[in-house]
Amino acid sequence: MKSILSTLPSILPLVFEWVEKQEALILAKAEGLTEDQQADAIRAGVSSPEKIRVLYVETLPKPERQDLQFLAQQIGLFSPRSIGLALGYGIYLRRDFREARSTLVHECVHVGQHERMNGVRPFLTEYLRECIDPGYPFGSLEQEAIIMTQAICGQNAR
Ligand SMILES: [Zn+2]
C-alpha cells in the first residue's frame, strides 16, 4: 500500500480531471434536493445545500483509464457495496437506494468536507491519501461521514 501512496501525486491530476468532468455532467442534468433533503444536508455540515445535484444511476460510473481503475481497485472504492459517490456538488446515488435517507446523508457529509477544505482538489488529495493509509474506511474523513450519518439517521445507518 505504501508504494501506491508514492504514486498518488502523479495520478491525482487524472483523478481531478475525471471527478470534475463527472461533477459538470451531474450539475448539467440532475435534480436538486427537496426541502427535507436540504435540511439533512445542513445537518450533515453542508453550507450551500442548494448547489447539490443528485443523479440516480443503475451502477456508479467508473473511470475508463486503466491506471485510475487500478487505483480505485487497490483502495477498495467502487466495490459492489459502494452505493454513492460525491463529486464536488454532484452526487451519484444508486437508484435502488433512492429511498435510503442515510445514503444521501453520507454523501452530503463528504460535500460538507470539500466545502470546509476549500475545494474538491484538497478534499480528494486528503481523502485518497487516507484511503491508502490507514486504508478505507478507516481514514478520518470517511469515519466522520459514517459517524455523522449514524448521528443523523440512527445507529444502523451506514
Ligand atoms: Zn464515504
Tens-level pLDDT at each residue, the chain (158 residues): 668 889 899 999 999 999 999 999 999 999 899 999 999 999 999 999 999 999 999 999 999 999 999 888 888 777 777 899 999 999 999 999 999 999 999 999 999 999 999 999 999 999 999 999 999 999 999 999 999 999 999 976 65
- N-terminal to C-terminal alpha carbon distance within the chain: 25
Taking the C-alpha atoms of residue 33 and residue 48, their distance in angstroms, rounded to an integer, is 11
Centroid of ligand 1 to alpha carbon of 142 (angstroms): 5
User: Which amino acid type is present at position 130?
Assistant: E
**Count of CB atoms within 10 A of residue 50's CB?**
11
What does pTM read for this prediction?
Answer: 0.94
Centroid of ligand 1 to alpha carbon of 127 (angstroms): 9
Q: Which of 58, 52, 43 is nearest to 102 (CA)?
A: 43
The residue whose grid cell reads 451506514 is 158
| φ, ψ dihedrals at 106, nearest 5° | -60, -50
Structural domain boundaries in the chain: 2-152
User: Which amino acid type is present at position 124?
Assistant: L
Centroid of ligand 1 to alpha carbon of 35 (angstroms): 23
Centroid of ligand 1 to alpha carbon of 128 (angstroms): 11
Centroid of ligand 1 to alpha carbon of 48 (angstroms): 19
